[in-house]
Structure formats: structure tokens, C-alpha cells
Amino acid sequence: MKNLAQMMKQAQQMQSKMADMQAELERQEIAGASGGGMVSVTLNGKGEMRAIKIDPSLVSAEDVEVLEDLIIAATNDAKSKVEAHMAEQMQKLTGGLSLPPGMKLPF
């Protein structure tokens, strides 16, 4: 029984650390870019868009489709960086503990 109580205590500690990590991720901002930096998108750690910057030279009625594609590419770049950062933070939190497939934290 003592072992079970210890496991429950560790699970509660991990949940607390997870909540702290999620709050920290929400405060962090990560940028992605496309078109050689002509379009930049900034997301927070939860993947919510916080800012977008577009080089004025791209704003042209003839190039709307190019601009749309660059915005999508920059957003996807930022999102992949957010996901990589989150995975890195999870690795630190779990101490390399690999969870069974399909199991996600928080519990």
C-alpha cells in the first residue's frame, strides 16, 4: 500500500508540474517565417496566433495568392516549432519516461 500512495503522490506532483508547464507555454511566443522572412507569424505555446508581419512589398492585388501561400507556410513553420518546443518541455517534465501509445498527459 505504501508503494501505491507514493505513486499517487508522484502523479499529483506531475499534474502540478504539467499545469505549470502549460501556463508557461501559453506565455511563450514562437515565430515562424516564409518567403525569406517576408512573412512572419508568431504563435504562443498553445498554437494561438499572436502576431503576423508582412513585408509591404508583398501587398499587391496581383500577388494575393502568393501572399496567402506565404502566410500558410509561415503559420505551419511556427506551429511545427511550437510542437517541437512542447515535446522538448514534455521530455524534461517526464524525465524521459515514455508513455504508452495513445496515452497523453495530463491524465
As a whole number of Å, the end-to-end CA separation of the chain is 21
Residue ranges making up the domain that contains 70: 28-93
77 located within any domain: yes
83 located within any domain: yes
**Nearest Cα to Cα of residue 35 among 5, 77, 2:** 77
Q: What is the pLDDT along the chain (107 residues), one digit of tens a residue?
A: 578 788 788 878 888 888 888 888 788 899 999 999 999 999 988 888 999 999 998 888 888 888 889 999 999 999 999 889 888 888 887 776 655 566 555 54
CATH number at residue 70: 3.30.1310.10
54 located within any domain: yes
pTM: 0.64
On whether the CB atoms of residues 82 and 30 are closer than 8 A, the answer is yes
Task: Identify the sign of the CA torsion 28, 105, 90, 12.
Answer: positive
104 located within any domain: no
Q: 93: which residues sit within 8 A by CB, 6+ positions away? A: 14, 17, 18, 21, 105
14 located within any domain: no
62 located within any domain: yes
Q: Quote the number of domains for the chain.
A: 1
Q: Locate all alpha helices (DSSP H) within 1-107, ordered by sequence.
A: 2-27, 64-94
Q: How far apart are the C-alpha atoms of 95 and 41, rounded to whole Å?
A: 31
4 located within any domain: no
